[in-house]
Amino acid sequence: MSIDTNIALPEGAPEEVVTHSLLREVDLRAFGFEGTLALITLDNGLDHNRPNTFGAKTLLELNERITEALASSASAIAITGKPFIFAAGADLSALSFLTSTEQAIAIGKLGHDVFRRLHEEKKPTFAFINGLALGGGLEIGLHSDYRTISATAFTALPEVFLGLIPGWGGATILPQLIGPEKAVQVIMVNALNNNTMLKAKEAAALGIVDAIFEPSDFLEKSVQFAADILSGKKKIERVDHTGDQAAWDNALATGRAAMNKKYGGAQIAAPLAALELIAGSRTASRGEGFAAEGALMKDLVMSDPLRASLYAFNLIQKKRKKVEGAPKAALARKVKKVGVVGAGLMASQLALIILRNLKVPVVITDLDQERVDKGLTYIRGELAKLVEKRRMSPETATRLSALITGSTEKSIYAGCDFIIEAIFEELSLKQKLFNELEGIISPECILATNTSSLSVTKMSEGLKNPERVIGFHFFNPVAIMPLLEIARTAATDDPTTATAVAIGKELKKTMVIVNDSPAFVVNRLLTRFMGEITDAIDEGTPPDVADSAMLPLGLPMSSLQLLGLVGPGVALHVAETLHEALGERYKISPTMQAFVEKGIRTFYIKGADGSHSVNPDALALIKAGNSPSTTEAVRLRALNALAQEAKMMLDEGVVATPAEIDLCMLLGCGWPIHLGGILPYLDREGISESVTGSRFHPAGVASLPR
C-alpha cells in the first residue's frame, strides 16, 4: 500500500509530541506455540500526564514498525501502550490551524492507510489495550483482528461531542462488530452524555473486546491469549449484524433522540454525520466506509463548529488545571473540620461532597432537630447507595458516616476551619448568622456563602474579620455540575481565597474567581436573557413563539423548561435582586409575580412518556400586551442583551477575561460546546460588534481564519 510520507504540520501549529513505536519479538514457545509475536509498544517517553497520541509523525513511525513486523519471521503482530496508557486518540492540537481542505484530507487518509494495514495484511493482529483508549486509540484496536483489555482500563469514542466523527474506521467497523444499537450507544449516546467512558467490563459486554485480564499480569495473559488464538486452542466467533433491518432503524432513531435531547432539537453536523456513517456501514465495504468517513471528516474539520468545539474543550481542560487569578497555593490554610449551616437539600448535598472528598469531620445545623435528622439521614442514605452501586466500600462508608454530625446549636462550629452557609436567600438572615458565628469561631476560620445573587460584601459588613468572608457558589446538583464560582470582596484576603481554591480542587470543581457583584456570572447572564423571553411574553408574544427562540442554538432546554427547573420563586428573587442592583434592564415580570403568588411551579407538565404539555393554570395567568414579536426578533433581542451584559461585566471587572465568561456559561448552564462558548458565538454572528462596537475575542478564535 502506498502511503504519502510528506505530511507536514499546518503553519503555526505546535510541534507534535511524537509517540514512538518500539518493536520487539516475543518468543511464544513458553506459551504453547512455535513462533514469535512482533510486539509494538506505543510510548511518547513522557509521564502519565501526557498520554500517547497520534499525529502525522507518530503515524508514519508506526507505519515503519508495521512494515518491519510484516517483513519479520513473526507469526503475528500485537500493539500495546506504555504503562496504564494505550492511546488517547488523535493529536488535536494542530486541527485548529488547518487552512486547506487538502491538509484535512491528507491527515484523515494517513490514519486510515496506517491503521487498515492491521486488518488487511496476512498476519493476524492483536491489540493489547493496557489502559486508557480513546478515539483513535480504540480505533487502532478495532482495526486489529483481536483485542484484550486491562480490567482497570477505560475506553470511548468521544469525537461526536467535540464536533467530529470517529474518522479512522470507528464509525464503519464498530457497527459491523457489535451491531448498530450498541454502536449508537458508544458513538452517539455516550459521547453526547458528557463523554461517558466504558469500563473494561462494559466494553467486553458490548463485544468490543475479546478478553479482560487484571493489570498485574495483563501483558503475560494477553500474550497467552494470542498464542491460544494462533494455535487454534481458542476461537472467537463474530456475528453478522447486517440482516436485522429493524435493529438498524431502532438504532438510528435512538441516535436522533440523543441528539435532540442534547441540543434541544437543533440539527448539529457531527452527530448527523455519525448517524449517516452508521447507517451506511450496514452495506458498505470497509473501503467504502473509510472513504465516506474521510469525506465527512474533511467537511467537519474545515468548519466553524469544530474550531468552536476545540476552543471550548481546550478552555475547559486548561482552566480545570489552573485557576485564573488564584493566589499562591502555599497561602492556603489546612482544613481539618468543616461546618455547613443548614440541613436542607442543597446544604446536605454540600455536606456530602465535602465529606466524600475532604474526609474530615463535617458538622451541620438547622432550626430544629427534625430538620437536622432529615439532613443526616439523606447524607448517610447517599453513602449507602454508593456502597450498593459498588462505588464505595462498606468500610469507607462507615468511616465517613462517623465523621458527619448535626445539632441545633451553633456552638458545634467551634473548631471549624471552614464554614459554608446554605440558608434562605435573605441578606439580613445571612448577616445575622455571620455575626453570631464570629463570636464562636477563630479569626482564621473562613466564612463562605453559597448565595446565588446576594452581595457577599454586604454580608461581611460590621464583622471584625471581613477579610475571611468569601462567596462559594455551587450549581445544582452539586455533585454533578462542575463549576464553582469563587467571589472575592474588596476585603477578602489571599489566604482565604487560596484556601477556597484548595478546597475547590479537592472537590474536583473547575473554578472561576470573580469579583463580588450581583449574581456573579452565570445567574446574571441567565437572568438577563430569560428576562428578555418573559418580557416578550408579557408584551404579547405567544409563549410557544418566545420559548422556541433560543432552540436553534442547541441549548439543552428551552427558557420556560429551565424556569421549571430553577423554580419561579428563585427566578423572581434573583430578578428582583438584580433589578435593585442594576436597574431597569432587569424588569420584574408580572407573569413571574403571578406564578409565585399562585404557587405555579412550572410552565410545562411532563408526561409519563417524557413529552411536555403546557400547564393550563400557568397559561391562564399570562396577561399579554398587544406588541407581539416573531421568534427571530425574540432571539436577536436575547442575544443582544447577552452581548450588552457581558461587555458591562468585563468593564466592571467581574472577571478578568472573556474566556472566563465562556467557561462559566459552558460549565454552569450547559452552553453548547459546538458553539465554542457564548462570546465566540456572538462574535461569529456579528452581534458583538453590532451591540458593543467590537469583538470579545480576536478574529480566528473558535472559528476558521478568514
Q: Judge whether 682 lies within some domain.
A: no
Q: What is the mean pLDDT of residues 410-414?
A: 97
The pLDDT of residue 2 is above 70: no
Cα–Cα distance between 607 and 612 in angstroms, integer? 6
Strands (E), 301-396: 338-341, 362-365
The pLDDT of residue 499 is above 90: yes
- Which CA distances in Å does 3 have to 9, 60, 67? 17, 9, 12
Q: What is the DSSP letter of 14?
A: P
Residue at which a domain ends, from 515, 549, 581? 515
In sequence order, the β-bridge partners of residue 477 are: none
Report pLDDT for 305: 87
Concatenating the DSSP letter of every residue in 310-333 gives: HHHHHHHHHHHH--TTPPPGGGPP
Asked if residue 482 and residue 337 are part of one domain, the reply reads: yes
Residue at which a domain ends, from 180, 211, 231? 231
pLDDT band at 9 (very low <50, low <70, confident <90, very high): low
The pLDDT of residue 705 is above 70: no
Q: What is the mean pLDDT of residues 195-219?
A: 96
Q: Name the percent of the chain lying above pLDDT 70.
A: 99
Catalytic residue among 139, 421, 438, 660: 139
β-strands 362-365, 338-341 pairing: parallel
Asked if residue 222 and residue 79 are part of one domain, the reply reads: yes
In sequence order, the β-bridge partners of residue 604 are: 614
Report pLDDT for 7: 66
Asked if residue 216 and residue 70 are part of one domain, the reply reads: yes
Cα–Cα distance between 278 and 219 in angstroms, integer? 33
Q: Judge whether 67 lies within some domain.
A: yes
Q: Judge whether 661 lies within some domain.
A: no
Report pLDDT for 612: 81
Give which of 37, 24, 157, 147 is closest to 88, Cα–Cα.
157
**Residue 381 CB: number of other CB atoms within 10 A?**
11
- pLDDT tens digits along 445-484: 999 999 999 999 999 999 999 999 999 999 989 999 999 9
Asked if residue 367 and residue 430 are part of one domain, the reply reads: yes
Q: Name the percent of the chain lying above pLDDT 90.
A: 83
Q: Judge whether 470 lies within some domain.
A: yes
Helix (H, G, I), strand (E, B) or coil at 438: helix
CA angle 463, 469, 475 (to 5 degrees): 140
Cα–Cα distance between 208 and 252 in angstroms, integer? 19
Residues 6+ apart with CB under 8 A from 102: none
Asked if residue 272 and residue 296 are part of one domain, the reply reads: yes
Q: What is the mean pLDDT of residues 279-284?
A: 95
Q: Judge whether 531 lies within some domain.
A: yes
Give which of 88, 89, 107 is closest to 6, Cα–Cα.
107
The CATH code of the domain that includes 212 is 3.90.226.10
pLDDT band at 4 (very low <50, low <70, confident <90, very high): low
Range of the domain at 168: 159-195+241-302
**Residue 118 CB: number of other CB atoms within 10 A?**
25
The pLDDT of residue 327 is above 70: yes
The pLDDT of residue 706 is above 60: no
Asked if residue 526 and residue 499 are part of one domain, the reply reads: no
Cα dihedral 448→449→452→455 (10° resolution): -100
Asked if residue 1 and residue 66 are part of one domain, the reply reads: yes
- pLDDT tens digits along 171-206: 999 999 999 999 999 999 999 988 899 999 999 999
β-strands 125-129, 146-150 pairing: parallel
Strands (E), 600-673: 604-606, 612-614
Report pLDDT for 189: 96
Residue at which a domain ends, from 476, 493, 515? 515
Asked if residue 201 and residue 191 are part of one domain, the reply reads: no
The pLDDT of residue 690 is above 90: yes
Q: What is the mean pLDDT of residues 620-644?
A: 96
- Give phi and psi for 60, each to the nearest 5: -65, -40
The CATH code of the domain that includes 415 is 3.40.50.720
Report pLDDT for 386: 95
Crossing angle of the two packed helices 522-539 and 568-582, in degrees rounded to 10: 100
Q: What is the mean pLDDT of residues 55-74?
A: 95
C-alpha cell at 497: 481565597
Catalytic residue among 11, 120, 159, 293: 159
Decide if 347 contacts 422 (C-beta within 8 A). yes
Give which of 147, 144, 94, 140 is closest to 124, Cα–Cα.
144
Residue 202's H or E segment, with its range, is: helix 200-206
Whole-number average pLDDT of the chain: 94
Is 139 part of the annotated catalytic residue set?
Answer: yes
Asked if residue 544 and residue 458 are part of one domain, the reply reads: no
Q: Judge whether 686 lies within some domain.
A: no
Q: Judge whether 58 lies within some domain.
A: yes
Q: Judge whether 89 lies within some domain.
A: yes
Is 159 part of the annotated catalytic residue set?
Answer: yes
Cα–Cα distance between 284 and 280 in angstroms, integer? 6
Asked if residue 591 and residue 497 are part of one domain, the reply reads: no
Asked if residue 202 and residue 76 are part of one domain, the reply reads: yes
Give the count of domains, the chain.
4
The pLDDT of residue 568 is above 90: yes
Asked if residue 577 and residue 555 are part of one domain, the reply reads: yes
Cα–Cα distance between 612 and 604 in angstroms, integer? 6
